[in-house]
Amino acid sequence: ARVDKAGYKHFMAKEIAEQPSVLSGALSAYLTETGIALPEPGLDFDKIERLVMVACGTAFYACLTAKYWFERLAGIPVEVDIASEFRYREPPITPGTVALFVSQSGETADTLAALRYCQGKADKIVSVINVETSSIARESDLALPIHAGAEIGVASTKAFTCQLNALLLLALKAAQSRGRIDDDGLHEFMEALRALPGVFNIALDRDEVIAKAARQIAEARDVLFLGRGLMYPLALEGALKLKEISYIHAEAYASGELKHGPIALIDKNVPVVVLAPRDSLFDKTVSNMQEVMARGGKVCLITDAAGAKAAGEDVWQTIVMPEVREELTPLLYALPAQLLAYHAAIAKGTDVDQPRNLAKSVTVE
């Protein structure tokens, strides 16, 4: 079926806005009354000794996020690599290794080559894809569809949140099989997931505040994104989105690395977007933020109500997200990161859906 913009100015705007309903569909594809149902043949999670995750671009950042989930929730050691690096390094694949590939299109040349490298070496080849008939899906032992629907905007938005969703469900399933989460714990998680589309709707109401911040940020030549823990991969994704569609130079750093180099860049001309819900690492991020502000840096803080209160008054712009449990923050905070990039691109007058030099799917090396 032909996909149209459904009244939106751009496919990207439509794809951002439809995330509540798309996520809700993606969740119901996997959540049952009592647990999480994966397609057959499932995985023997008990036997997994190591997970190697490989992808490109936005899908790579979904993998980096999932590393935290697989390690923390399921206790599985995880390595994440960029497909173009992985494929030529000839990395040893030891027994007990499951190789997991994430790709919206399922056709990215480097990711497919990395998958083929693992065939016959890894215990299982798993993929997380959007296109179920794709090469990567067909060549996997187990392919998990993310159920994002057709994504037309070159800059990935709803596919990213749906990749995160599928990976989190996989990590939860692994945690359950490995006895790391009990039934009550799992059900609490499932409840929070079921509530997430509603929370996304509330977050979408922040559009005007985000657009205002984005118009200011669009005046900068360079922008820094900071995050810690689960927010670090999201900082990388936020910076990627901004440079992809607004052509503003953006870099992301783990907040704790700030003092090891990037702090030298800080002055009043370099806005710093800080992604920091009031989680277990919040206080550490606040002190990084203070280091920025003490050097005249302008902080755009994306946080929740408690975080906004604790951050004090010197923050330049604050974007307040609804509260969700810590493990779900990457899904929710993807939204303001996407909207910041979108509105910055609008302010710059760039071609949002077809940014220069980029392709939706890169099927050549």
Catalytic residues: 360
| Token code pair at residue 17 | 């806005």
Of 172-180, 203-211, 259-267, 356-364, which part binds ligand G6P (CB under 6 A)? 356-364
Q: Is 246 in the site for ligand G6P (CB under 6 A)?
A: no
249-254/317-321 β-pairing: unpaired
Q: Is 111 in the site for ligand G6P (CB under 6 A)?
A: yes
Q: What gap in Å lies between CA 347 and CA 196, rounded to an integer? A: 30
Q: Is 103 in the site for ligand G6P (CB under 6 A)?
A: yes
What residues contact 26, with CB distance under 8 A and at least 6 apart?
146, 147, 148, 162, 165, 166
Q: Of 156 and 303, which has the nearer Cβ to ligand G6P?
A: 156
Applying CB under 6 A, among 140, 156, 176, 246 the residue interacting with ligand G6P is 156
Q: Is 166 in the site for ligand G6P (CB under 6 A)?
A: no
| Token code pair at residue 117 | 């490298």
Q: Of 215 and 360, which has the nearer Cβ to ligand G6P?
A: 360
Q: Is 264 in the site for ligand G6P (CB under 6 A)?
A: no
Applying CB under 6 A, among 74, 118, 137, 154 the residue interacting with ligand G6P is 154
Contact 254, 231 (CB under 8 A): no
Q: What gap in Å lies between CA 94 and CA 7, rounded to an integer? A: 51
Q: Write the burial class of residue 239 (CB in 10 Å: 0-12 exposed, 13-18 middle, 19+ buried).
A: buried
Count of positions on this chain that bind ligand G6P (CB under 6 A): 16
| Token code pair at residue 69 | 């989930």
Question: What minimum distance in Å lies between the beta carbon of 294 and ligand G6P?
Answer: 36
Q: Is 105 in the site for ligand G6P (CB under 6 A)?
A: yes
Question: What minimum distance in Å lies between the beta carbon of 356 and ligand G6P?
Answer: 12
Question: What minimum distance in Å lies between the beta carbon of 360 and ligand G6P?
Answer: 6
What residues contact 357, with CB distance under 8 A and at least 6 apart?
none
Site for ligand G6P in 52-71 (CB under 6 A): 56-59
222-227/142-145 β-pairing: unpaired
What is the contact surface with ligand G6P in residues (CB under 6 A)? 56-59, 103-105, 108, 111, 154-156, 358, 360-362
